[in-house]
Structure 1
Amino acid sequence: MARHFLLSAKARTLSLAAILRMTDDQAHAAFVAIRWADNGGEAFCPRCECTAVYTYAARRIWKCKACNHQFSVTSGTIFASRKLPIRDLLAAIAIFVNAAKGLSALQLGRDLDVQYKTAFVLAHKLREAIGAGQASAMLSGHVEVDGAYFGGSVRQENRKEDRKDRRLAQNQTGKRQVVVVMRERGGRTLPFVFRAEADAIPTIRDRVATGTTIYADEAASWDALHARFETKRINHSIAFSDDGACTNQAESYFSRLRRAEWGQHHHISGKYLGAYAGEMAWREDTRRQANGVLHQLAAAALGHGVSRVWAGYWQRGRA
């Protein structure tokens, strides 16, 4: 019997041990090669894009000959103003990539021997870089659509006679949100957060190309899709799949997101639900790839500008 790809040696193209054995110079060289891969690994000015730069011998920085701008390998990226060594950043990305169902900030902080706050912000910076790659994606072909609700639950009463039906709106906190996912069969996964499933219809129309076949369940929220798309529905109370009509790939995504919430994070704040949803979409899209996708994530992070959300997050009085 053939071995599953993820169990084979070909799936292990990234070694955390190898990263931790790197010297500072080797880690820096790896970052340089990733950031300026389109220039053969040679640094160029991030401000004016001039390729003529001076290299400083005493410090790992460059100076542009055209505009005199001094920059480092992390200048103008999501890692700007870093305090962690570059080797630790590489190790953090490797640990993040290898976590199949997400990674808690507490665990990342323990692995890197840094404060919880440092690990929390670092993980969210990586999620922001992932989300930037999903911002303008369009889906086509065969797309599955489904929604799942998160948050808004209240603690049950001790005695059975005092307990309430938490499925009813009057017995919820009002913070309940729905993650609606659009998943292209054999392609990309795009999640969005709304107050109700019906609110997702305009976004689906914007992100799914005309002529696409959409697969959805029997929820009334998706009735409006028939006006624009060929829509095939599946009644889950009767069957999970019927003549090709199913939402199994969308359910697979929600399975990973639920397990990340229950097993790793235990609680996901509604404010950042979209960031976690985007992370799980990226994990689903790369689930069949070797763990060398570290380079893909590192490139996304180094290609992303300075975060306006997470730069100085704790200095703004967050608690």
Structure 2
Amino acid sequence: MGINVVQFQHGLSMNEFIQRYGTEAKCYRALYQWRWPQGFRCPKCEGRARSRFRRGTTVYYQCRACRHQTTLTSGTLLASTRLPLTTWFQAIYLLTATKTNMAALELMRHLGVNYKAAWRLKHKIMQAMLEREEPRKLKGFVQIDDAYLGGERNGGKPGRGSENKQPFLIAVQTDENLEYPVFAVIEPVKAFDNASLRDWIERRLEPECEVYTDGLACFRQLEEAGHAHTTLVTGGGRAATQAKGACWANVVLANAKRAISGVYHAVRQAKYARRYLAEAAYRFNRRFRLRDMLPRLATALTRCKPCPERVLRLANNFHG
């Protein structure tokens, strides 16, 4: 059996991480380069000339054109943080270097912060992952499947329609021979109905895809949207998950659900499923570039707007 190149690739080792980002000054220089790769840009007028001064321990930059004052983290997801940059970099490293996910409770123990701080770190980083995955559209050959996140409540309704289950769609773009997965989209939907599917198709599929699904009635919307649609009649059991047009959707789905249920145990899927599923998609779509995940995710944090805890907790699982 050949070696799995994804699983056996060399990521960023702990020693390399410490050498590159082991001090506050090293983290500051790296983040400065990622936020302003062509040099300082005023967030208000795009001016390049600036002066630099300190207020307490914080470094401020003042634009010489419009006199707007900013800091390295202001206007980003790291805005108003009281944690050192080394803690942020450690959190990003832990959440991207591990083969499986990491819960906020375990992150708390690794970083030496309290649980609320670890929760904010975790959810802000997942918010950056979500925003990076939001515009992704799949093209060519796409396998789609429906699934649920969560289990049954005692005395509640079992199966589809359970009060404790969040429906979501998983779609995997493959090569033209349906042999290798390329990208994945994993996103909650309000229901498996025609309106939800029409909205999802418009946002997530490029025109004229060739799509493979099971016989769920709402998937007929794919044909109405102009996509070539193959309905797979596979029956139940293991054979259904191994069918050529459904294999990769089922593999990615199983891995995502196993990671969520095995690591988090309890997820408030009614509020936060969109972030947790986006985390799974983000990691999958960058699986060939483990060494680049930390700088790419840190750069994403600098390009996302501030999201304080009260906004994080007002999460909405649905687009718009």
- Same fold by TM-score, threshold 0.5 exceeded? yes
Task: Pick the TM interval, shorter chain.
Answer: 0.7 to 0.9
Asked whether the 8 Å contact 2:213–2:246 carries over to 1, the reply is yes
Who is 2:191 aligned against? 196
* Structure 1 residue ranges (4+ consecutive) displaced by more than 6 angstroms after TM superposition: none
CA positional deviation for 1:16: 3.4
Residues of 2 paired with 1:96 and 1:168: CA distance?
A: 32
- Aligned counterparts, 1:165-204, within 5 A: 166-167=158-159, 169=161, 172=162, 174-185=163-174, 186-199=181-194, 200-204=196-200
Asked whether the 8 Å contact 1:101–1:257 carries over to 2, the reply is no
Amino acid at match of 1:181: I
Q: Is there any run of 5+ residues in structure 1 with no aligned partner, and where? A: 157-163, 315-319
C-alpha distance 19-84 of structure 1, shift in aligned 2 (>3 A): farther
Residues of 2 paired with 1:59 and 1:224: CA distance?
A: 54
Who is 2:317 aligned against? none
Residues of 1 paired with 2:170 and 2:312: CA distance?
A: 29
1:139 maps to 2:131: no
Asked whether the 8 Å contact 1:139–1:208 carries over to 2, the reply is yes
C-alpha distance 275-312 of structure 1, shift in aligned 2 (>3 A): closer
Residues of 2 paired with 1:142 and 1:168: CA distance?
A: 28
Residues of 1 paired with 2:71 and 2:157: CA distance?
A: 57
C-alpha distance 29-122 of structure 1, shift in aligned 2 (>3 A): same
Residues of 2 paired with 1:117 and 1:107: CA distance?
A: 12
Residues of 2 paired with 1:224 and 1:6: CA distance?
A: 35
Who is 1:278 aligned against? 278
Indicate the larger mover: 194-203 or 119-128.
Answer: 194-203
Asked whether the 8 Å contact 1:19–1:90 carries over to 2, the reply is no
- Aligned counterparts, 1:232-247, within 5 A: 232-237=230-235, 239-240=239-240, 245-247=244-246
Instruction: Identify which of 48, 53, 59 aligns with 1:51.
Output: 48
Residues of 2 paired with 1:253 and 1:2: CA distance?
A: 20
Amino acid at match of 2:211: I
Q: Is there any run of 5+ residues in structure 2 with no aligned partner, and where? A: 175-180, 314-320
- Aligned counterparts, 1:1-319, within 5 A: 3-6=3-6, 8=8, 11-12=10-11, 14-20=12-18, 22-37=22-37, 39=38, 42-56=39-53, 59-151=58-150, 153-155=152-154, 166-167=158-159, 169=161, 172=162, 174-185=163-174, 186-199=181-194, 200-206=196-202, 207-227=204-224, 228-237=226-235, 239-240=239-240, 245-269=244-268, 270-307=270-307, 310=309
Asked whether the 8 Å contact 1:253–1:280 carries over to 2, the reply is no
Asked whether the 8 Å contact 1:214–1:231 carries over to 2, the reply is yes
Secondary structure class of the residue paired with 2:193? helix
Asked whether the 8 Å contact 1:145–1:216 carries over to 2, the reply is yes
Who is 1:161 aligned against? none
C-alpha distance 129-55 of structure 1, shift in aligned 2 (>3 A): same
Asked whether the 8 Å contact 1:215–1:245 carries over to 2, the reply is no
Residues of 1 paired with 2:173 and 2:130: CA distance?
A: 17
TM-score (norm 1): 0.83
C-alpha distance 68-220 of structure 1, shift in aligned 2 (>3 A): same
Who is 2:178 aligned against? none
CA positional deviation for 1:272: 0.5
Identical pairs, percent = 24
Q: State the Cα deviation string for residues 91-137 of structure 1 (Å, max 9, x = none).
A: 11000101333210001111100111111111111111111122222
Secondary structure class of the residue paired with 1:144? strand
Asked whether the 8 Å contact 2:123–2:312 carries over to 1, the reply is no
CA-atom RMSD, angstroms? 2.6
Residues of 2 paired with 1:241 and 1:260: CA distance?
A: 18
Amino acid at match of 2:173: E
CA positional deviation for 1:313: 5.7
